Amino acid sequence: MKTTWDTRYSKRIDFMKESPIRKLLKFTEMEDVISFAGGLPAPKIFPCQQFDEACSKVLKEKGSIALQYGTTGGYTPLREWIAENNPIGIKVSPDNIIITSGSQQSLDMLGRVFINEGDHILVESPTYLGALQAWNAYGASYIATKIDDDGLIPEEFENSARCGPKFAYVQPNYHNPTGVSLTLERRKRILEIADHYGIPLVEDDPYGQLNFDCEPIDSLLKLDSYYRNCPGNYCGDVIYLGTFSKVLAPGMRMAYVIAPLNVINKINLAKQGADLHSATFNQVVTYEMIKDGFIDEHVQLIRRVYAQRRDIMLDALEKFMPEGCTWTHPKGGLFIWAFLPETIDTTELLAYAEKEKVAFVPGIQFFPGNHAMINAMRLNFSNASPDSIVTGVKRLVAAYNAYLEEKGDH
Amino acid sequence: MKTTWDTRYSKRIDFMKESPIRKLLKFTEMEDVISFAGGLPAPKIFPCQQFDEACSKVLKEKGSIALQYGTTGGYTPLREWIAENNPIGIKVSPDNIIITSGSQQSLDMLGRVFINEGDHILVESPTYLGALQAWNAYGASYIATKIDDDGLIPEEFENSARCGPKFAYVQPNYHNPTGVSLTLERRKRILEIADHYGIPLVEDDPYGQLNFDCEPIDSLLKLDSYYRNCPGNYCGDVIYLGTFSKVLAPGMRMAYVIAPLNVINKINLAKQGADLHSATFNQVVTYEMIKDGFIDEHVQLIRRVYAQRRDIMLDALEKFMPEGCTWTHPKGGLFIWAFLPETIDTTELLAYAEKEKVAFVPGIQFFPGNHAMINAMRLNFSNASPDSIVTGVKRLVAAYNAYLEEKGDH
């Protein structure tokens, strides 16, 4: 049905593209489909009982606060808790923190506050799709910067930095989509280069606490404090994006930004117009959930479960994937990044995978620039059960064979 | 502390202004301050126990859905419920509905989807501040259109429509800030004019169910269906903004947009980049709260409580306000709009009111254009208790006298 509205869309609509992951969601929601596509946590270990207790306590004791409008900056006790207990171990004032409705909103707010049409943003290549989606709406361009098994390559970063991006966007830990982490040495080097060229950094860290078999590496934010001779104190050149989605539950949409006070004030202004504030109820309940240390204990459980699933997926890939395929070996997070032989187009492969009732995300979606790898795919290991992971990999191989066979026919 | 970030703000930051209401919030949160400033529901009648039961049920029975990522469009049963039970009594498909994180986000999404820098939007004068805030970020200009005690004046609307606005934004019921409602006759006339000039309408209706001593008037959306000879079916020329903030609780941030399918698809795209989706938990809990008719019963209670408070405020104004003051007599909603004598600047008066520990919003804030009335003020009657309302009005009068006295001195 055509309406008067159809002739009236904004120009920025043309910049926006649908996420292929969101598109896949309908397919992956079908029964007996095994999905390696989304970045979904394992629902079996959602702390439902703890949430139930927290909701009940909050509604009995603080209902009139939790159900009411709140300040745009966020619930003060929650901001204070994050200031004191943030996973990066840095001293920061609650005034440097704003609560957002999930990290996607943090990215959107950064876009709104910083990006003019045509601005160049330095991003890893591949990078998190949601960041591209958020910033496309503001007409961003990207300086795609290569990464390898140790994360962002400093020489490449320096080349990109020379182009004068407005800021650089980095995921140092268990990077989405590749699962790789930036080494300590490279982190230090990246900070030096960023400082040299005057490029501020956005550090997106949704998975930092999900380290399986390694000690966590210091965040860029923390390393920056050493670099600037104020060890352990927030210096303001790195904006840090944290979230409770991966350590509690994504369905609560609770995340935060750590940023310089001036930037927080601008985000606050932007957020007033965007949604007034994030749900008070979710903030008060999140605070109730985490204030007595539950999160530490729960993160242990998540690590155990995800590490096992990663191992099972790596084993299955090793066992069943045909020759010529390679993949990353992440030490944490949610994703493995796999390469099929160079002639294979994973976007085409997906149609065959759908017939076999298994889903993944074609790698091409994560590339901001021209040098996309058509033979890459992102595999999520956190969501499917151990049994399903093995079956899913087998289905993937069946899809691959069917694809090859048909391709060979033409 | 200055950082590298400070030189990098987007141009649109200059368009954004802080809401004076948000600014006032710190003052109004102080103990013994009586606030007529915000648009806050009465916390005493928040249905805490029902929320507690709903949360518990959801977490026990549907935790793995409610705590997980969801689709951008929103929880299907909730959209289906709204399609069937919307307060405007129109037949609409769940596909014409998208769930948002409060009506402020609905406004933001409309801005993102429709407004280019410099676009003209037809708005009532005065109008809802949050709409201006949302759309300022996209560089909107406004065609300010006069209203009177019967709402938007058709002749004025026609004059504005001739200027070719991108769309018109109207609050027909218990308008914020004035409390007035658009008469049935005028609604029909507005639709005719809009149709004649090809101007699509956004109908914002947060208070429509809060009618105290009158039958609700048909929504523009419903009247449009008659006008277009498809009575009771959604025609697509009016976009309708609904919310659960005033009938359940604003702290859950649950609202929705009814729009043509094409527009819903664009909003969906915009929302993917903005926050992926509104909190699944809040959607499932809201559905659980409303699915068995609780909302009807609860709205009765809200109406009784607010009607009483409105009466008490009207009585107190009548009794204590000095000669030369007038005010509206709303038949529902949350607000009274008062005028002091023409020489009084309510922005200046606010400083005196703060000394007397009472808050209101100076009327000037709600005017999109040049013809602001400096002597107007918005008074909220839903949030303060009956006793406080009387005391608050007395304080207001004391502030007024102190202001006059000091002004006379100079």
The answer to whether the CB atoms of A69 and B136 lie below 8 A apart is: no
pLDDT at B369 over 90: no
Mean pLDDT of B175-180: 98
- Residues 332..361 of B with a Cβ closer than 8 Å to A: which? none
- Give the model's pLDDT for residue B3: 87
Residues of B in contact with A52 (CB under 8 A): 55-56, 59-60
- Class of the CATH domain delimited by B68-292: alpha beta
A46's CB contacts (< 8 A; 6+ apart) are A249, B63, B64, B67, B68
Q: Model confidence at A401, in pLDDT bands (50, 70, 90)?
A: very high
The answer to whether the CB atoms of A275 and B253 lie below 8 A apart is: yes
Question: Where do the H-state alpha helices sit in B147-240?
Answer: 154-162, 184-197, 220-227
Q: How far apart are CA A178 and CA B19, in angstroms?
A: 42
B334's CB contacts (< 8 A; 6+ apart) are B39, B41, B174, B176, B179, B207, B210, B246, B306, B380, B381, B382
Q: Model confidence at A409, in pLDDT bands (50, 70, 90)?
A: low
The answer to whether the CB atoms of A60 and B41 lie below 8 A apart is: no
pLDDT digits (tens, 9 = 90+) for A14-62: 988 877 777 787 788 888 999 999 899 999 999 999 999 999 999 999 9
- Residues 24..63 of A with a Cβ closer than 8 Å to B: which? 25-26, 38-41, 43-44, 46, 48-49, 51-52, 55-56, 59-60, 63
Measured in whole angstroms, how far is the alpha carbon of residue B125 from the centre of its chain?
14
pLDDT at A267 over 90: yes
> Residue B306: what residue type?
Y
The DSSP secondary-structure symbol of A322 reads P
pLDDT digits (tens, 9 = 90+) for B114-131: 999 999 999 999 999 999
Mean pLDDT of A353-380: 94
- Give the model's pLDDT for residue B104: 98
- Give the model's pLDDT for residue B87: 87
Residues of A in contact with B46 (CB under 8 A): 63-64, 67-68
CATH 3.40.640.10 positions along chain B are: 68-292
- Give the model's pLDDT for residue A214: 87
B98, B247, B276, best to mutate vs chain A, most A CBs in 10 Å: B276
Mean model confidence pLDDT for chain A: 95
- Give the model's pLDDT for residue A27: 85
CATH 3.90.1150.10 positions along chain B are: 4-47+296-404
- Give the model's pLDDT for residue B409: 56
Mean pLDDT of A1-15: 90
* Architecture of the domain whose range is A4-47+296-409: Alpha-Beta Complex (3.90)
Q: Would you say B153 and B147 are in contact if contact means Cβ atoms under 8 Å apart?
A: yes
A11, A45, A48, best to mutate vs chain B, most B CBs in 10 Å: A48
Retrieve residue A190's tokens: 């990246």
Mean pLDDT of B397-406: 95
Mean model confidence pLDDT for chain B: 95
What ipTM score was computed for the predicted complex, to two decimals?
0.97
Residues of A in contact with B259 (CB under 8 A): 5
pLDDT digits (tens, 9 = 90+) for B33-43: 999 998 999 99
Q: Nearest-CA distance from B200 to chain A in Å?
A: 6
CATH 3.90.1150.10 positions along chain A are: 4-47+296-409
Q: Which chain A residue is nearest to residue B235, measuring alpha carbons?
A: A3
Q: Beta strands of B156-279 (E only): which ranges? A: 167-170, 201-204, 238-243, 255-258
Q: Model confidence at B408, in pLDDT bands (50, 70, 90)?
A: confident
CATH assignment of B4-47+296-404? 3.90.1150.10
Residues of A in contact with B72 (CB under 8 A): 22
Q: Nearest-CA distance from B160 to chain A in Å?
A: 18
> In this structure, what are the phi and psi dihedrals at residue A375, rounded to the nearest 5 degrees?
-95, 10
Retrieve residue B395's tokens: 């304080």
